[in-house]
Amino acid sequence: MSRFISSWQQLLTRACVVSGVVCFSFVLSSVRVSAAEASNDSKGTDLKSTGGSASKGGDDIVSFINKKIKEGWEANQLRPSAKATDAEWCRRAYLDLIGRIPTIAELDQFLKDNPAKRKENLIDRLLGEVPKNGAINDRYLEEYAGNWATIYTNLLIGRPVGNQNQIEHSREGMEQYLRRSFLENKPYDQLVQEIVSAEGASTPGMEGYNGATNFYIKHITRADPDKAEPTSRTAKNFLGVQVQCTQCHNHPFNDWKQDQFWSFNAFFRQTRKEGNRRGGNNGMQPEFELSNQNYTQNVSDPRNAELYYELRNGTQAVAYPKFVDGTKINASGYVNEVNRRSELAKLIVKSDLFGKAIVNRLWAHFLGYGFTKPVDDMGPHNPASHPELHDRLGAEFMAQGNDLKKLMKWIMLSEAYSLSSKMTPNNKKDDPSMGVKPAFSHFYMRSIEAEQLYESIETVRTQKKGQDIDWAKALQERNNVLSQFTLTFGNDEGGETTTFNGTIPQALMLFNGNLTKAAINTDDPTAILGAMLQKGAKPSEIIENLFLATYGRKPTSAEVGQLGSLIRVADPKIAYSDLLWSLINSNEFLFVY
Amino acid sequence: MMNRRHFMTHMAQAAAMSAPAAHMLAQGLSAGAADIKKGNKAVILLYMGAGPATIDIWDLKPGQPTGGEFKPISTTGDMQISEHMPLMAKQMHNAAIIRSMSTSEADHNRGRSYMHTGFKPDPNIEYPGYGAVMAHEFAEQSKYRGLEIPPVVSIGGPSAGPGFLSMAYSPFVVDFSGRVRNLDMTLSADRLAQRMQMLGKLESSFASQGRGEMAADHYKVLQNTANLLTSKQMDAFKIDSEPESVKKLYGIGEQPAGQPGMGMRVNSQFNQACLMARRLVQTGVPYVEIELGGWDDHQNVFTNLKNRLPVLDRGMASLIQDLDQQGMLKDTTVVWMGDFGRTPRINANTGRDHWARSWSTVVAGGGLKGGIAVGKTNVDGTAVDTTPYSSEHLMASVLKGLGVSLNTTYTTKNNRPKKIANGAAPIAELFA
């Protein structure tokens, strides 16, 4: 019986699922928007999975977004900012879709395109062509897939940390799986189903390798035998709800909510993680396997296998696998009769929370804030800023094939995404950093992410799209540079944080680090300055190109005047590299605006 | 917050690169301004990431089913502590244990945030941590002392951010060795000055475009960075120059008494970090945090603690003794805390789980009474029998002990007034 005591304590002190406001209860009362109702006549007008031109359905959705956002402005007496310049928009689009700024040539290509079509054309170009058969021959598609693999790897298993000695998951495996999925634009429901139901080995090269297993391999730990952590991670990442809420000592326990947590947790009771750190070059690579095994021990009936947990009043309760909306499955503990995780995966991707969760996350990716803050804490305790829009986008996403590229395009073609980050007296109060709900009346400026910065400095240096080198090796190099900024919290939940943005260590890296040194090198003909100097470019051309390469704009006449006088007095090589150093270290390079 | 005009003035000054960082740091009114010519007021927070079992360290329950394996020993203060903390036992006349902590946040992230800020986590307001509050309140002191290095230093962990206070109070994070990456200055000071001049011009143009405070705040970080590159005060991170007698006190270079267990993140360099913290405070830094993580003892709690407590004991006791010997303890508050405590009940894996309802924190120095245990838990440690105290009461006590007015009120970014330490009363027993 002592294991039930353990369960009780886990619940009381760590999962804290029963605390009143948050938790699963709202799921039952949430408004279900029928996908069919919400999608108007767009059903069946399937967009090309390449992210091709917007169909009538896509236009309808963009119009709906614009309408709802505008209603919010009117309700809050806000007037939107002017449009961002096309060059600013272009920089945003590159950073958000492929994780780096554009080269001078790419910006030029965009600005020479038909003004009426250039934004949509650029989105299509960056989303890339999914190959029908055979080899991928589209650099942008590779960049897109690499960028989103990074974003999702960070989401699912955290950023890379410096000390790799005790890590049990394979980052390479997770990233490789995700990259391949984004290359083929795998429907998002399929992607999530594969992760939630994953079985196999963690690390490339192992027999039965399946990179998708690494999400649970990371989050199942010996310290958490009841799998509370994978339970709450699954809910948070794929359903956008927080179940590990912690106000359990402030609120009386409510038994049926507690039951919701353990019923959800019951889906993980067949899951087994086994393995060790061994093999590899240094004899210390993680080699783990995720499998499903019969859940028959300590249950009264293996064909109706219960789990026990203890209520706060000391009495024991039982739970069987039951989804958040109340759907029950056959509770057999035998894997050959019921594969519980596989059943869970199917239920997750049919839930209306599933669409809303990904819409919220992607909206925040592009616009800086989601409809709720944080994006993965949805529910009646945390009302959305634009509930109708949120519901409809979630429903449309699911009705139209769970196509991430389609969703990205809807958001990027919206008016909200086109606005300048320059605030006006008429919308200055629309500032979610001050605790108000976002109205999206101007673009919210934000810090560039660590990975985006790394890739952008490389882009400035080489002026080439898509680095023509081994992907895994390039990733390893980037992780080596960036892992110094990631700190773990030193607890068994494996939480981590980045100390990158706006800190002195970041500034020191940009002041003195090798990345910057390589970028401002005047003697290397493969670096931007070295190449221009070798060609004998004129001073005005060099200055203009340095601004274009970093800021995506030409210098103003005031800047030319100020900097020109500085440059004239010094050795030109020194002056140019100092200018490029200054551009790379400046706010206009380090923010997304 | 510095206003824009003020900021632009500094932009112009910054181009000359002659002024030290201190004037950039010193904004707003300093509560402790009158005292700045006396000792350097500072907090050293020993943050026990994940939350140790305080029932096995500071508030033992021998003979109870919850009591575990350890025996209590007598101390130089009016309380007993764990047998695995023999060095601290000799320092307890300097320290107070608050045994009546009841903090209600038992999730790692929420507990960490609450314990660092004195406010419960709120998605809409980012509260400043101890470090930013100290840096802000003692900005005049830092200016007076010509502090050129960051006022908030965190060793081995992320600490907490500046919240709605200035970005310039972001923690400066270093590892246990005190090594700072990318610090090598290969440039001449002239060349750096030229770069900073260009950079200043570029920054000011973007900062004046109305895109939000972040764009303007960024330059403060750059300025602090440039100062740090040329500052001799960076020597504070190098413990090598300490006399042998001091190194011996901290046990630098000795094998730690305990051995890290499998899967634990004990850092035997904790003692080095403690010495570094004392050097930083001596240099004028008002806040240093050291994170010793890995206390998430859901299993094998007693084995783990037996290995880990000697590391804590050596570092913490040496630090308090050293501060005392150097006459710094009256101005420096050493605070010991984790995310929360751990369950009195011992689980099936001989572990203890998360528990916020009844646990202990420790303070020493900084004008707080030592040698006492504040408050009491019940017979098996499952509840607090006396007035419960929480994060904000602890923070209020630490600040009051250093002379900060508890009437200090901040204004959040959305113009809401927030009293320092959430307006909580300090813990009376610490001032008796």
Q: Is position A194 within any domain? A: no
Q: How confident is the model at residue A495 (pLDDT cuts 50, 70, 90)?
A: low
Which pLDDT value is given to residue A41? Answer: 35
Task: Check whether B18 has a pLDDT greater than 90.
Answer: no
State how far the Cα of A257 lies from the Cα of B17, in Å rounded to an integer: 61
Which pLDDT value is given to residue B73? Answer: 98
Mean predicted confidence (pLDDT) in A384-393: 97
Calculate what percentage of chain A has a pLDDT beyond 70: 81
Mean predicted confidence (pLDDT) in B295-316: 93
Q: Which residue has the higher pLDDT, A183 or A256?
A: A183
Task: Check whether A479 has a pLDDT greater than 60.
Answer: yes
Q: How confident is the model at residue A27 (pLDDT cuts 50, 70, 90)?
A: very low
Interface contact flag, A492 B296, Cβ < 8 Å? yes
- Of chain B, the end-to-end C-alpha distance in Å amounts to 36
Q: How confident is the model at residue B210 (pLDDT cuts 50, 70, 90)?
A: very high
Q: A474-478, B207-211, B298-302: which has the minimum mean pLDDT?
A: A474-478
Question: Does B382 touch chain A if contact means CB atoms closer than 8 Å?
Answer: no
Q: A157-171, A230-244, A343-357, A478-492: which has the minimum mean pLDDT?
A: A478-492
Which pLDDT value is given to residue A468? Answer: 57
Task: Check whether B3 has a pLDDT greater than 50.
Answer: no
Task: Check whether A389 has a pLDDT greater than 70.
Answer: yes
Question: pLDDT for A289-308, tens place per residue?
Answer: 999 999 998 899 999 999 98
Which pLDDT value is given to residue B6? Answer: 34
Report whether B140 contacts B37 (CB < 8 A): no
Question: Does B341 touch chain A if contact means CB atoms closer than 8 Å?
Answer: no
Q: Is position A567 within any domain? A: yes
Question: Does B369 touch chain A if contact means CB atoms closer than 8 Å?
Answer: no
State how far the Cα of B345 lies from the Cα of A7, in Å rounded to an integer: 12
Q: Is position A487 within any domain? A: yes
Task: Check whether A373 has a pLDDT greater than 70.
Answer: yes
Domain that holds residue A492: 450-592
Mean predicted confidence (pLDDT) in B374-403: 97
Calculate what percentage of chain B has a pLDDT beyond 90: 66
Mean predicted confidence (pLDDT) in A194-211: 96
Mean pLDDT, all residues of chain A: 84
Task: Give the A window 197-256 contacts with B, CB below 8 Å.
Answer: 222-225, 244-250
Mean pLDDT, all residues of chain B: 87
Task: Check whether A48 has a pLDDT greater than 50.
Answer: no
Calculate what percentage of chain A has a pLDDT beyond 90: 62
State how far the Cα of B153 lies from the Cα of B87, in Å rounded to an integer: 26
Report whether B300 contacts B349 (CB < 8 A): yes
State how far the Cα of B60 lies from the Cα of B376, in Å rounded to an integer: 11
DSSP letter, residue B423? G
Choose the closest CB to A490 out of B206, B294, B299: B294
Mean predicted confidence (pLDDT) in A498-521: 85
Interface contact flag, B203 A587, Cβ < 8 Å? yes
Task: Check whether B280 has a pLDDT greater than 70.
Answer: yes
- Six-digit token pair at A222? 């010996």
Give CA torsion, residues B233, B236, B241, B242, to 10 deg. Answer: 130
Which pLDDT value is given to residue B181? Answer: 82
Give how far B8 is from chain A: nearest CA, Å. 15
Question: pLDDT for A208-245, tens place per residue?
Answer: 999 999 999 999 988 788 898 899 899 999 999 887 65
Q: How confident is the model at residue A593 (pLDDT cuts 50, 70, 90)?
A: very high
Task: Check whether B68 has a pLDDT greater than 70.
Answer: yes
Question: pLDDT for B130-188, tens place per residue?
Answer: 999 999 999 999 999 999 999 999 998 889 989 998 888 989 988 888 888 888 777 88
Q: How confident is the model at residue A29 (pLDDT cuts 50, 70, 90)?
A: very low
Convert A212-228 to b/e letters by CB count within 10 Å (16 or more is b).
Answer: bbbbbbbbbbebbbbbb
Interface contact flag, B50 A490, Cβ < 8 Å? yes
Question: Does B193 touch chain A if contact means CB atoms closer than 8 Å?
Answer: no
Which pLDDT value is given to residue A467? Answer: 55
**Kind and range of the H or E run holding A316:** strand A316-319
Mean predicted confidence (pLDDT) in A107-132: 92
Question: Which residues touch B281 (CB under 8 Å, ≥6 apart)?
Answer: B40, B42, B44, B288, B328, B332
Question: Does A502 touch chain B if contact means CB atoms closer than 8 Å?
Answer: yes
Mean predicted confidence (pLDDT) in A121-145: 85
Give CA torsion, residues B85, B90, B95, B99, to 10 deg. Answer: 40
Q: A32-36, A521-525, B330-334: which has the minimum mean pLDDT?
A: A32-36
Which pLDDT value is given to residue B16? Answer: 36
Residues in B closer than 8 angstroms to A445, CB to CB, are 211-212, 214-215
Interface contact flag, A423 B210, Cβ < 8 Å? yes
Give CA torsion, residues A402, A404, A405, A407, to 10 deg. Answer: 80
Which pLDDT value is given to residue A424? Answer: 96
Question: pLDDT for B309-357, tens place per residue?
Answer: 999 999 999 999 999 999 999 999 999 999 999 999 998 889 998 999 9
Which pLDDT value is given to residue A59? Answer: 84
Domain ranges of chain B: 31-178+238-431
Q: How confident is the model at residue A577 (pLDDT cuts 50, 70, 90)?
A: very high
**Among chain A residues, CA nearest to B224:** A504
CA distance readout (Å), B319 to A86, B239, B251: 58, 13, 11
Report whether A454 contacts A474 (CB < 8 A): no
Interface contact flag, B158 A578, Cβ < 8 Å? no
Mean predicted confidence (pLDDT) in A561-580: 82
Which pLDDT value is given to residue B183? Answer: 84
Which pLDDT value is given to residue A282? Answer: 61
Interface contact flag, A583 B110, Cβ < 8 Å? no
Which pLDDT value is given to residue B109? Answer: 87
Which pLDDT value is given to residue B367? Answer: 96
Q: Which residue has the higher pLDDT, A14 or A527?
A: A527
Structure ipTM: 0.82
**Among chain B residues, CA nearest to A420:** B211
Which pLDDT value is given to residue A401? Answer: 97
Which pLDDT value is given to residue A247? Answer: 31
CATH 3.40.50.300 fits B31-178+238-431, yes or no: no
Task: Check whether A35 has a pLDDT greater than 80.
Answer: no
Interface contact flag, B170 A9, Cβ < 8 Å? no
Beta pairing, strands B409-411 & B417-419:
antiparallel
Q: How confident is the model at residue A563 (pLDDT cuts 50, 70, 90)?
A: confident
Residue linked to tokens 């179940």: A243
Task: Give the B window 244-283 contacts with A, CB below 8 Å.
Answer: 263, 265
Q: A245-254, A368-377, A532-541, B336-345: which has the minimum mean pLDDT?
A: A245-254
Residues in B closer than 8 angstroms to A587, CB to CB, are 202-203, 206-207, 214-215, 218-219
Question: Does B177 touch chain A if contact means CB atoms closer than 8 Å?
Answer: no
Which pLDDT value is given to residue A313? Answer: 67
Give how far B267 is from chain A: nearest CA, Å. 11
Q: Which residue has the higher pLDDT, A51 or A55?
A: A55
Question: Does B161 touch chain A if contact means CB atoms closer than 8 Å?
Answer: no
State how far the Cα of A419 lies from the Cα of A407, in Å rounded to an integer: 19
Residues in B closer than 8 angstroms to A244, CB to CB, are 107
Task: Check whether A8 has a pLDDT greater than 70.
Answer: no
How many folded domains does chain A comprise? 1
Question: Does B298 touch chain A if contact means CB atoms closer than 8 Å?
Answer: yes
Which pLDDT value is given to residue A276? Answer: 87
Task: Check whether B384 has a pLDDT greater than 90.
Answer: yes
Report whether A79 contacts A73 (CB < 8 A): yes
Interface contact flag, B199 A16, Cβ < 8 Å? no
Which pLDDT value is given to residue B178? Answer: 85
Interface contact flag, A489 B112, Cβ < 8 Å? yes
Neighbours of A346 (CB within 10 A): 16
**Kind and range of the H or E run holding A574:** helix A572-585
